[in-house]
Structure 1
Amino acid sequence: MSRSDPIRVNYYNALECAENIANVLFYFGAVISIASIFVTKERLPGLYGVIMVAFAVTVLSIFIVGVSVRLYFFPRAEDNRRREFFGKAYNVSLIHEKTDGYYNNDQVEPVRRIAAQVLENSWFSKSIALRILRLERAKVVIYFMAWFVCVYWRSADFGLILAVSQAVFSEQVIAKYIRLEWLRSRCEDTYDRTRNLFNSCASDASFNAMAMELCSFYETSKSNAAITFPSSTFMKMNHSLSEEWGRIRIDLNI
């Protein structure tokens, strides 16, 4: 079976690129912020001026890229993914770019197909989030250790403590880690509840209502977390997760 995902290529790759630029700018700004503590205006006025200008440009660039990610790249990618998602469920064409080899289930009724697709998506999302968190948890521990050393190092400059604290408790470090943990938890909850729904003896009306609620739960979780999974991680795990998804389908008879 051929597998292709033009939506990831055309939209999520651009989003991932923009987020990588924001991350580079953030770490560059953190380095400049710390460097400004050791380069004084009195001793090295020329270098100090360069650092201040670079810092100002970096802050402005982070703002512009951040707004672009939140208000353009992320919504554009998610909107097109949802169009393709619901188009697959109802067997209509809402977008000309279509995935091939994904959303594999034998359900015929549209709402049951939506439930099966939510189950598949949440299975992939929770597994990928857990893999990414292995590294993120280690990074957070290292960041906290660095912050702890700065805070309790008696001879540490107060400006250095503030610079390190700003970096550690920023959107790109702690806040992103918390959002990723939250998204993992919500995806696991979605998967478990959707799997239980297929195992239940709910009436058609109850099944349809719960399926749509779970779809909304999953989609709002993604939107609120605003986390983009790296394409490299997805590609590494895609084969094994697809094989496991095949076994899940057989087990649930979907």
Structure 2
Amino acid sequence: MSRSDPIRINYYNALERAENVANALFYFGAVISIASLFVTKEKLPELYNLIMVAFAVTVISIFIIGISIRLYFLPRAEDNRRREFFGKAYSISLIHEKTDGYYNNDQVDPMRRVAAQVLENSWFSKNITLRILRLERAKVIIYFMAWFVCIYWRNADFGLILAVSQAVFSEQVIAKYIRLEWLRSRCEDTYERTRNLFTSCASGASFNAMAVDLCSFYETSKANAAITFPSSTFMKMNHSLSEEWNRIRLDLNI
């Protein structure tokens, strides 16, 4: 079976590139802020001014890219993904770009297809977040160790402590880690609840209402977490997760 995802290529890849630029600028700004502590204006005025200008440009650039991600790149990608999601469920064309080889289930009723697609999405999402968290947990431990060293190092400059604290407790480090853990928990909850829905005796309006609730729960989880899965991680796991998904849907007869 051929597998293609033009929505990821056309929209999520651009979002991922923007986030990578924002992350690079963040770390560059952190390095500059620490370097500024060791360069005095009296001894090296030209270098000091250069560092200050670079830091100001970096901060403004991070702000502009951050706003662009939140108000343009992320909504554009998510909106097109949802159009394709519901178009698949109801067998209509809401977007000309269509995935091939995804949303594999044999359900005929649109609401049962919605529930099956939520089950498939949450299965992939919970496993991908777990893989990403392997690295993020290690990074957070290292950052906290560096922060504690600065805090308890007697000769540490107070400015250095503030700079390291700013980097550690930033959107790109601690906040991102917390959002990832929260998203993992929500995806696991979505998967278990949706699986239980298919194994229950719910039908008709009862099934439809719970399917809509689970779909909303999953979508609001993604929107609030605002986490983009790296394409490289997805591609590495795609084959094994797809094989396991086929076993899951056959077991549930969906």
Q: Indicate the residue corresponding to 1:32 in structure 2.
A: 32
1:213 alignment partner in structure 2: 213
Which residue does the alignment assign to 2:100? 100
Amino acid at match of 1:179: R
- Offset of 1:204 from its aligned partner? 1.3
Match of 1:116 in 2: 116
Letter paired with 1:135: L
Determine the C-alpha separation between the residues in 1 that align with 2:71 and 2:105.
33
Q: TM-score, normalised by structure 2?
A: 1.00
CA offsets 1:199-222 (integer angstroms, 9 cap, x no match): 000131111000000000000000
C-alpha distance in 1 between matches for 2:135 and 2:61: 27
Match in the other structure for 1:198: 198
2:61 match: secondary structure: helix
1:134 aligned residue:
134
Task: State the partner residue of 1:43.
Answer: 43
Instruction: Name the CA distance, whole Å, in 2 between partners of 1:203 and 1:181.
Output: 33
Report the AA paired with residue 55 of structure 1. F
SS at match of 1:24: helix
CA distance in 1, matches of 2:128, 2:225: 15
2: CA distance between counterparts of 1:248 and 1:75?
31
- Over the aligned positions, Cα root-mean-square deviation in angstroms equals 0.3
- Deviation at residue 241 of structure 1 after TM alignment: 0.1
CA offset digits 1:51-87 (Å, max 9, x no partner)? 0000000000000000000000000000000000000
How far does the alpha carbon of each residue in 1:67-125 deviate from its partner, in whole angstroms, 9 at most, with x for none? 00000000000000000000000000000000000000000000000000000000000
Secondary structure of the 1:40 match is coil
Q: Which amino acid aligns with 1:97?
A: E
Find the aligned partners of 2:24 and 2:234 in 1 and give their Cα distance.
22
State the SS of the aligned residue for 1:195: helix
Alignment of 1:161-200 (within 5 A): 161-200=161-200
Q: Please tell me whether residue 245 in structure 1 is matched to residue 253 in structure 2.
A: no
* Deviation, structure 1 residue 193: 0.1
- What secondary structure, in the 3-state scheme, does the structure 2 residue paired with 1:202 have? coil
- Residues 138-184 of structure 1 show CA distances to partners (whole Å, capped at 9, x for unaligned) of 00000000000001101000000000000000000000000000000
Deviations 1:26-71 (A, max 9, x none): 0000000000000010111010000000000000000000000000
Where does residue 8 of structure 2 map in the other structure? Answer: 8
- Distance (Å, rounded) in 1 between the aligned partners of 2:11 and 2:253: 33
Identity, % of aligned pairs?
87
**Aligned residues between the structures:** 254
Determine if the alignment matches structure 1 residue 148 to structure 2 residue 148. Answer: yes
Counterpart of 1:68, as a letter, is S
Q: Match for residue 68 of structure 1?
A: 68
* Correspondence 1:89 to 2:89: yes
Q: In structure 2, what is the Cα distance between the partners aligned to 1:202 and 1:105?
A: 19
Normalising by the residue count of structure 1, what TM-score does the alignment of the two structures yield? Answer: 1.00
Structure 1 segments of 4 or more deviating over 4 A? Answer: none
Unaligned runs of 5+ in 1: none
The residue identity in structure 1 corresponding to 2:82 is: R
